[in-house]
Amino acid sequence: MSTPGSAKGRPQTRRFISGVVEGFYGRPWTMDQRTELFKREQKWGLNTYLYAPKDDYKHRMYWRDLYSAEEAEQLIALISAAKQHDVEFIYAISPGLDITFSNPKEAAALKRKLDQVKEFGCRSFSLLFDDIETEMCPADKQAFTSFAHAQVAITNAVYQHLGEPETFLFCPTDYCAVMCTPTVSQSYYLHTVGEQLLPGIDILWTGPKVVSNKISVESIEEVSSVLKRPPVIWDNIHANDYDPQRIFLGPYKDRPTELIPKLRGVLTNPNCEFYPNFVAIHTLATWCKSTSDGGQRDVEMGDEKQDPWYSPEKALTLALTDWLQEFLSADQNGARPKKDSSDEEPMQTDIGESPYVPGPGENPLYTAEPLTLDDLKLLSDLFYLPYEHGQMAKTMLRELDWLKNHSRAAAAETDETAEWCSRAQQFDGMCEAVVQMFNRLSNAPNRSILYDLYNYICDIKSGVGLARAYVKTLGGQCPPSAQLMNDDPEPWGFRGGLSGEFQRMLPCHGNRDLFRHPLMTEVYCMRPYSPEDKVQVQKIFMEMKSAGGGKMPLMMLPPLLCDSLSSGELAPSPQCALILEDEIGVCGYALALTDAQPAAAKTQRAVSAEVLKDFPSLVTIQVLPRVIDSTPAKRMIVRLLSSIKNSGSRGVFCELRQSDRRMLDFYTKLGCFKPITMAGLPEDVVAMGASL
Ligand code: GDL
């Protein structure tokens, strides 16, 4: 694969730059990891490594400082390791934080530093001007027409000073379309760079955005015409330095292979964690090979509909299959690989004992279940790409949303109840698969990969655990109390720290929140009423009567039809009475008479035949004020209405005191109850009815 060369004295064809840029913020990779990277690149057919760790002192902050003897030794070894593996080592420097472009001493410092690296054996270089202030200092404003002119001048000078290296990369300050003012094609900055940067210098570009979802052929044609050369893509698709909760294990995707002949190269700037980049780099390598130009089309590889040369799904499977082998092999941090008992050496322990062999009736030795390809597929699905969840993650989100929106079917017999239960069970199975994946992963022999992934898998396991408990609560099963929040939750009950709190306060976050309503902080139990509950029900009835009765003395309050039910004078109809309990005890009830007439007779109040025709049943509900969340009460009423309906009733009504704002509010918010006209109601009483 090659792109046409354009510099003077350049070979007419140059190899397509492909590989990795270590260009993220945060802890740089170790020398050993970089050497490991070169091995992988060679194995997978990638050819370049761009050294640009943002937080390495001497790359950016102290760019002027020369390397010490010890550092020099390390860099020399690294550059030579790259050579050994046929990987081109490009040394990048970022002087843009504080360089004064017009000061010759500054240019000299830059040249001195790069000369030193050249002495280490490096032959390819890069100047980066990303993520810096665009305002020039007064001295530079005097010396240069624009910021672009200042950058171009120093870059050309350094390039020539180094003898016009075959590979020399420049990263502009406006390195993606969204940064261009007003647009790519009208950007004065990019036009200046394109016209004045010497033709042998290549330009880095991240696509439409810093983290580009898709990179289209048209967008590359547009920027190439402004830059007067095809760009080298600095791809942030797998970068995760901007969010400590995310890591990307999905395939290289949404860059058509048609792009390859239109680009000078692609370098991926992946996750900060070295080992989890297996997929990012492996799939990029597959993509780079999948070109019509290279004539290497693998009939199995393409996807006729999407891209005949590359299928992200197939590339992912190839990568995960290879990655699995790495997981299963112990590394230097890993467990001692198991040997045959014949060549087993005595275990090195302080007291020099032989290995533990369990005796009869003792615990067997723990043997970890091996990790599977499906586990890795699930892992990749849960941590897919910045703009897309993997298939299983999408399914889980969709199912949780459905279960939440149809929770009425969980609380009462409806046409959807069977479906709800079956989908809840399937959701539970998916959550269990995540837990199993976590267990097998944390027992895998390769500890280095595990340690890099640990925080992320722990986080997803907890998140999924919360969702799982939530579905169980919706289904009326009591989840283990430790998993739900109580009055004094453990720190993992309120996740995300201060940053999490800030996010939860923002409306855009709230909209996507799983728990749009306040979290249930109590565990409730809803059960059928039994005659032994009569005393407790009476107690609640009296307590709430005085609370809801306004200023009037209790004795003076006109009786409601349902009082005879709550006071125990009338027994509720079969299957039509529920009790709510919390940790303290009975905290609510919901009672009904499928035929309201006996209550009317008890209260000595006639209810018109017209009302009874539409609303033959009577209902009453009460919960103590300590039940802050309205969900348990809603659940009770929904279940009760369903039983009443099953008994053949067409409708139900309730009576409320106007002074009882709480209950009025409750019934109104339910939505199915509407005020109804009823003759003979006492002065401050209203009736509400619901058709079934
Ligand atoms: C950037 C930075 C890069 C960082 C990435 C993702 C470029 C050219 N520069 O803007 O160092 O890792 O975003 O946060 O991409």
Residue 393's domain is classified under what CATH number? 1.20.58
Per-residue HEC secondary structure of 249-287 comes to CCCCCCCCHHHHHHCCEEEECCCCCCHHHHHHHHHHHHH
Look up residue 137 and give its DSSP letter: P
Q: Is 129 in the pocket of ligand 1 (CB under 6 A)?
A: no
Phi, psi torsion values for 689, nearest 5 degrees: -125, 155
> Is 577 touching ligand 1 by the criterion CB < 6 Å?
no
576 and 463 share one domain: no
- Cβ-contact 633, 658 below 8 angstroms: no
On whether both 481 and 538 belong to a single domain, the answer is no
320 domain-assigned: no
Q: Does residue 56 have its Cβ closer than 6 Å to ligand 1?
A: no
Cβ of 23 below 6 Å from ligand 1: yes
Cα separation, 179 vs 514, in Å, equals 34
Same-domain status, 423 and 491: yes
Domain-ending residue, one of 291, 311, 330: 291
Which residue(s) pair with 17 in the sheet?
A: 265
Does the beta carbon of 24 lie inside 6 Å of ligand 1? yes
CA of 236 to the centre of ligand 1 (A): 7
* 307 lies in some domain: no
Residue 314 φ then ψ, to 5°: -70, -40
CA of 315 to the centre of ligand 1 (A): 25
Query: Tokens 């855009």 belong to which residue?
Result: 508
Report whether residue 210 contacts ligand 1, using a CB cutoff of 6 Å.
yes
Domain range for 645 is 525-691
The angle that helices 188-196 and 147-161 make with each other, rounded to 10 degrees, is 20
**493 close to 485: Cβ distance less than 8 angstroms:** yes
Q: In this structure, are 400 and 281 located in the same domain? A: no
Name which residue sits closest to atom 9 of ligand 1, judged by CA: 130
- Nearest protein Cα to ligand 1, atom 12: 24
| Ligand 1 pocket member 51 (CB < 6 A) | no
Does 489 lie in the same domain as 529? Answer: no
Q: Do 489 and 529 belong to one domain?
A: no
Contacts of 417 (CB under 8 A, 6+ apart): 409, 410
Separation of CA 242 and ligand 1 centre (Å): 9
Q: Does the C-beta of 167 come closer than 6 Å to ligand 1?
A: no
Residue 267 resides in a domain:
yes
Give yes or no: residues 469 and 543 share one domain: no
- Assess if residue 452 is contained within a domain: yes
Q: Whose CA is nearest to atom 10 of ligand 1?
A: 210
Residue among 258, 267, 230 at smallest CA distance from 6: 230
Q: Which two tokens stand for residue 486?
A: 């109580």
Which residues, listed in sequence order, are joined to residue 171 by a DSSP beta bridge?
A: 128
Atom 7 of ligand 1, nearest CA residue: 130
Position 146 scores a pLDDT of 97
Which atom in ligand 1 lies closest to the alpha carbon of residue 128? Answer: 8
User: Cis bond leading into 182, ω under 30°?
Assistant: yes
Asked if residues 529 and 643 have their Cβ atoms less than 8 Å apart, the reply is no
CA angle 488, 490, 493 (to 5 degrees): 100
Residue 175 near ligand 1, beta carbon < 6 Å: yes
Tell me, what's the pLDDT at 344? Answer: 47
Query: How many C-beta atoms lie closer than 10 Å to residue 515's C-beta?
Result: 13
**Helix ranges restricted to H, 351-406:** 373-382, 391-405
Residue with tokens 């369990």: 358
For residue 639, how far is its CA from the centre of ligand 1 (angstroms)? 54
Number of Cβ within a 10 Å radius of residue 256: 17
Residue nearest atom 13 in ligand 1 by C-alpha distance: 210
Angstrom distance (rounded) from CA 16 to CA 202: 12
Tell me which residue has its CA closest to atom 8 in ligand 1.
130
Q: How many domains does the chain have?
A: 3
Per the structure block, which two tokens stand in for 392? 């299983």
User: Which ligand 1 atom sits closest to the C-alpha of 23?
Assistant: 11
For ligand 1, the distance from its centroid to the CA atom of residue 269, given in whole angstroms, is 8
Task: Name residue 436's amino acid.
Answer: Q
Residue 657 region by backbone torsions, left for phi larger than 0, else alpha for psi between -120 and 50, else beta: beta
Tokens representing residue 562 in the block: 């349902």
Among 504, 536, 554, residue at a domain's last position: 504
C-beta of 322 in contact with ligand 1 (< 6 A): no
C-alpha of residue 106 to centroid of ligand 1, in Å: 25
**Does 258 fall in a domain?**
yes
Q: Specify if 296 maps to a domain.
A: no
Tell me what pLDDT residue 421 has.
94
CA dist 459 and 489 (Å) reads 17
For 481, the token pair is 């109390």
Please say which residue of 236, 268, 291 terminates a domain. Answer: 291
| Residue 647: C-alpha distances to residues 412, 418, 593 (Å) | 14, 20, 10
Pairing type for strands 617-623 and 586-593 reads: antiparallel
Query: ∠ CA 488-492-493 to the nearest 5 degrees?
Result: 50
> Cα-Cα-Cα-Cα dihedral of 669, 656, 587, 592, to 10°?
-100
Asked if residue 602 and residue 677 are part of one domain, the reply reads: yes
Q: Residue 251 belongs to a domain with what CATH number?
A: 3.20.20.80
> 54 CB less than 6 Å from ligand 1?
yes
HEC letters along 585-654:
CEEEEEEEECCCHHHHHHHCCCCCHHHHHHCCEEEEEEECCCCCCCHHHHHHHHHHHHHHHHCCCCEEEE
Largest CA distance in the chain: 110
Pocket of ligand 1 contains residue 180 by CB under 6 Å: no
Distance 37 CA to ligand 1 centre (A): 20
Residue 327 in any domain: the answer is: no
pLDDT of residue 514: 36
Pair 655, 578 in one domain: yes
Protein residue with its CA nearest to atom 15 in ligand 1: 210
Ligand 1 centroid – CA 203 distance (Å): 15
Neighbours of 167 (CB within 10 A): 22
Q: What is the C-alpha separation between 670 and 652, in angstroms, rounded?
A: 14
Q: Identify whether 323 is part of a domain.
A: no
**Which position has the token pair 């039809």?**
561
State the closest ligand 1 atom to the C-alpha of 175, by its place in the atom list counted from 1. 8
Point out the ligand 1 atom lying closest to the alpha carbon of residue 52.
Answer: 11
Kindly give the distance from the C-alpha atom of residue 23 to the centroid of ligand 1, in angstroms, as a whole number. 7
Pocket test for ligand 1, best of 21, 22, 24, 56 (most atoms within 8 A of CB): 24
Centroid of ligand 1 to alpha carbon of 153 (angstroms): 24
- 279 and 379 part of one domain: no
Mutate to test the pocket of ligand 1, among 22, 130, 240 (most ligand atoms within 8 A of CB): 130
CA neighbor of 239 nearest in space, from 267, 258, 216: 267
**Domain identity same for 593 and 649:** yes
Residues identified as active-site = 131
Q: Please answer whether residues 521 and 486 qualify as being in contact, where contact means their C-beta atoms are separated by less than 8 angstroms.
A: yes
Q: If you take atom 6 of ligand 1, which residue's CA is the nearest one? A: 239
Query: How far, in Å, is the centroid of ligand 1 from the Cα of 240?
Result: 10
The upper half-sphere exposure of residue 222, i.e. CA atoms within 13 Å in the direction of its Cβ, equals: 15
Cβ contacts of 150 within 8 Å, gap of 6 or more: 101, 102, 136, 140, 143, 144
Nearest CA, atom 4, ligand 1: 24
| Residue 612: Cβ within 10 Å count | 17
If asked whether residues 23 and 84 sit together in one domain, one would say: yes
In this prediction, the residues of the chain whose per-residue pLDDT falls under 50 are 4-9, 295, 337, 339-344, 346-347, 349, 480-483, 510-519
Per-residue pLDDT, 14: 84
CATH number of the domain enclosing 613: 3.40.630.30
